[in-house]
């Protein structure tokens, strides 16, 4: 039992977790019908990628990995601000947040 407890976690498990989180994000992007929820799935995908960056930074003792995550966070913050502003503008124009109803771009 103690050996089990003191066992280390293989790097590949972190990476698998990251992959699974990413796929869950894609699935969410595909099946959710509310615009805000779709946006949240995108955030989930980004976080999964962040996790894999940090994992690799730990694996190879590379500080650049963590710095990349830092920058990603900054950009995501900006992106979230702008994206939500767009969602508000769309809501004002179409009075709905259903993804399927916002199809003005169809031929």
Partner 1 sequence: MHLILFFVFAGFCLAGAINLLLQSHPINSALSLIVVMTSLAVLYLLLGAEFLAAAQVIVYAGAIMVLFTFVVMLLNAGREERTLGSRTARSVGFPAVVAILAVIATVILKAQGLGVATLGEGLTNAKGSTNIEVLSGVLFHELLLPFEVTSILILIAILGAVALASRGDGPHGSRERMGGE
Partner 2 sequence: MSAPLHLWLIPLLPFAGFLLNGILGRRLPKWIVTAVALLAPAAAFGLVLNAALGLFGIGPAPGSFSSLPYVETCPLPWIDIGALHVDFSFVLDQLSLVMLLVVTGVGFLIHVYSVGYMSHEEGYARYFSYLNLFLFFMTVLVLAGNALVMFVGWEGVGLASYLLIGFWFRKTSAADAGKKAFIVNRIGDFGFLIGMFLLLANFGTLTFTEIATKLGQDPGWQGGVVTVIALCLLLGATGKSAQLPLYVWLPDAMEGPTPVSALIHAATMVTAGVYMIARTHVLFDHSPFALSVVAIVGAATALFAATIGLVQNDIKRVLAYSTISQLGYMFLGCGVAAYSAAIFHLVTHAFFKALLFLAAGSVIHAIGGEQDLRRMGGLWKRMPFTFAVTTVGVLAIAGFPPFAGFFSKDAILYAAYLHGANGKALWFVGVVTALLTSFYMFRLWYLAFLGKPRGEDAPHHATPWSMLGPLVILALLSICGGWIGIEPSGGLSNWTNWINMERFSGFLAPAVGANAAEGGSAGLELILSGAAVGVALLGWLVAHLFYRQKSRLPAQAAAALPGGYKLLANKYYVDEFYGAAVVKPLLAISTYLLGWVVDKALLGGAAWLLGGVATFAGALLQRWQSGNIRSYAAWLAAGAAAVLLFLVVPWPDVLASLSAIHLGAAGH
Q: Which of residues 30-49 bind partner 2 (CB under 8 A)?
A: 30-31, 38
Q: Does 75 bind partner 1 (CB under 8 A)?
A: yes
Q: Which does 86 bind (CB under 5 to 8 A by kind): partner 1, partner 2, none?
A: partner 1
Q: Which does 45 bind (CB under 5 to 8 A by kind): partner 2, partner 1, none?
A: none
Q: Which residues contact 7 (CB under 8 A, 6 or more apart)?
A: none
Q: Which does 47 bind (CB under 5 to 8 A by kind): partner 2, partner 1, none?
A: partner 1
Q: Which residues contact 10 (CB under 8 A, 6 or more apart)?
A: none
**Total residues contacting partner 1 (rule CB under 8 A)?**
76
Q: Which of 1, 49, 86, 104 binds partner 1 (CB under 8 A)?
A: 86
Distance CA 83, CA 79 (A): 6
Closest CB 107 distance from partner 1, rounded Å = 15
User: Can you spell out the DSSP letters for 49-72?
Assistant: HHHHHHHHHHHHT-HHHHHHHHHH
Torsion angle of C-alpha atoms 40, 58, 60, 3, degrees rounded to 10: -120
């Amino acid at each position: 039992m103690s050996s089990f407890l003191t066992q280390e976690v293989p790097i590949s498990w972190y990476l698998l977790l990251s992959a699974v989180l990413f796929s869950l994000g894609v699935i969410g992007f595909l099946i959710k019908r509310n615009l805000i929820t779709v946006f949240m799935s995108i955030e989930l995908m980004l976080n999964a990628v962040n996790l894999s960056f940090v994992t690799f930074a730990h694996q190879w003792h590379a500080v650049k990995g963590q710095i990349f995550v830092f920058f990603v966070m900054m950009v995501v913050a900006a992106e979230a601000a702008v994206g939500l502003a767009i969602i508000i503008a769309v809501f004002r124009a179409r009075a709905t947040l259903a993804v399927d109803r916002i199809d003005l771009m169809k031929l």
